[in-house]
Chains A and B, each alone.
Chain A
Amino acid sequence: DGGITQSPKYLFRKEGQNVTLSCEQNLNHDAMYWYRQDPGQGLRLIYYSQIVNDFQKGDIAEGYSVSREKKESFPLTVTSAQKNPTAFYLCASSIRPFGYGYTFGSGTRLTVV
Chain B
Amino acid sequence: KQEVTQIPAALSVPEGENLVLNCSFTDSAIYNLQWFRQDPGKGLTSLLLIQSSQREQTSGRLNASLDKSSGRSTLYIAASQPGDSATYLCAVSLGGSQGNLIFGKGTKLSVKP
Footprint of B on A, CB under 8 Å?
4, 6, 31, 33, 35, 40-45, 48, 50, 58, 88, 90, 92, 94-100, 102-107, 109
Contacts and interface: CB of A to CB of B under 8 A. Distances in A.
Contacts, number: 72
A43 B43 contact: no
Interface stretch (B14-22, B56-64, B70-78, B98-106): B98-106
Contacts of A41: 105
Contacts of B32: 98-100
B104 A99 contact: no
Contact of A94 (B43, B99, B103): B99
Nearest to B49: A100
B31 A102 contact: no
The prevalent SS among residues of A at the interface is strand
Lowest 10 A-B CB distances belong to which pairs? A42-B103, A104-B43, A99-B93, A99-B99, A104-B44, A42-B105, A43-B103, A106-B43, A31-B99, A94-B99
B7 to A, nearest CB: 13
B89 interface: yes
